Amino acid sequence: MRKLIWLVVVAALPAPAAAHVRWFVPEGMRLLPPDLGLIFGWPTLAVAGASLLLFLGLRQLERLVGSPHWPNPDFLAYMEPCATALLAVHTGISLVWFAYQRNLFVPQLLLPANLLGYFLVSLQLFVAFTFITGLFDRAGAVLLIVAFLLGFLVFPPLAMLDQIHYVGIAVALFVLGRTIPPEWVAQKLAWLPRYETGAVAALRILTGAALVTAAFNEKLLAPELGRAFLAEYPHFNFMRSVFGLAWFTDDLFVTAAGITEATIGVLLITGVLTRVVILGMWVPFNLTVPLLPPVELLGHLPIFGIMYLLLLYGSGIPPRAAARLLEPAVKGEVEEARRRLSG
């Protein structure tokens, strides 16, 4: 019973969940296929049970507060103009770094030194240029999806599905836009705003799917990856390194981390109190950054951008309150100026 309680404690603690173990194991292990036979083990049931319990709890909280967008402080509205720009720039920086390493999106996807490989490198660099500068940003979003689809020609399907959040980024940036386009372009894109909620929902769902896939592909169905990771970074198993619990094996620790990550992904997919779920993600995805090499930060920059945007948009409703909050002040300044001029 005591072991079960400790397992629940570790699953509730966010520290180990965010580390992508395939980034930090020997290159020969990075594309090691998962053992699909383990899908029928108890960790899968644990993910289902934890997801169900937390979903019911958050749904009840949603009913009590009376809004799927809680918490909703006014200052979030002022942060909205930065959301898509931050997502685009973060994604662009990450794409540049991995393109120069001849990777597609992440370290384990090393591109071949052939025509297709260098084409995908060039494609990533062009997409990064459009996202960072804002020039041709929607064309860059389309090409990001093209790069993702071409990746299936080089890498195993499950390895690419780990990166499906890039499709969500592309959809969100295509619909929401990185910058305000010229008037003649805006007129041609006047139909896009009606899909804002759907684009944010797509980003949320695909990010959740990527987290679930990564949890199973890197942790729950590939325990040998976890062993290799903890052999290099043993301090991550803080149940042994800090609390001295020798019985808490590396396999058990990685399993708890996988359960946590998969549960977060499932909750994102459901869309229940998205802001609360995002706030729950914030700690694990930032806490691992100082504990690992810089690639941890560079690889997670797009995730940080996603979390920022979803924090603002909640379950998919744009936070337009900023305009309503500013409108009285603007009107007051205009009236004051008119009075001064007339005087």
Tell me the β-bridge partners of 110.
103
Query: Is pLDDT at 9 greater than 50 in this prediction?
Result: no
Of the chain, the end-to-end C-alpha distance in Å amounts to 81
* Residue 173 CB contacts under 8 Å (≥ 6 apart), including other chains: 84, 87, 88, 131, 137, 138, 140, 141
Neighbour count for residue 325 (Cβ, 10 Å): 13
Nearest to 159 by CA among 105, 93, 79: 105
CA distance 239 to 197: 42
Listed in sequence order, the residues at least 6 apart from 160 whose beta carbon sits closer than 8 Å to its beta carbon are 109, 148, 151, 152
Planar angle of CA 284, 223, 38, nearest 5 degrees: 110
* CA dihedral sign, ordered 334, 338, 341, 343: negative
Mean pLDDT, rounded, for 3-31:
63
**Cβ atoms within 10 A of the Cβ of 193, count?**
13
How many domains does the chain contain in total? 1
**17, 281 Cβ separation under 8 angstroms:** no
| pLDDT tens string 208-240 | 999 999 999 999 999 899 888 888 887 777 667
Residue 95 pLDDT class (50, 70, 90 cuts): very high
Structural domain range at position 259:
2-342
CA 27/CA 96 separation, integer angstroms? 21
Q: Kindly state the average pLDDT of the residues 22-27.
A: 84
pLDDT score of 99 more than 90: yes
111-156 pLDDT, tens digit per residue, is 999 999 999 999 999 999 999 999 999 999 999 999 999 999 999 9
**pLDDT > 70? residue 341:** no
Better pLDDT: 342 or 194: 194
Residue matched to tokens 């008119």: 338
| Residues in the chain, overall count | 343
> CA 195, 201, 202: angle at the middle one, nearest 5?
85
CA distance 103 to 247: 38
pTM for the whole structure: 0.85
Is residue 69 a contact partner of residue 275, using CB atoms and an 8 Å limit? Answer: yes
- Per-residue pLDDT of 153-188, as tens digits, reads 999 999 999 999 999 999 999 999 887 777 777 777
Residue 322 CA to its chain's centroid (Å): 25
3-state secondary structure of 18: coil
- pLDDT top residue among 244 and 71: 71
The pair of three-digit structure tokens given for residue 189, joined into one six-digit string: 């894109």
Higher pLDDT, residue 53 or 244 = 53
Say whether pLDDT at 339 is over 50. yes
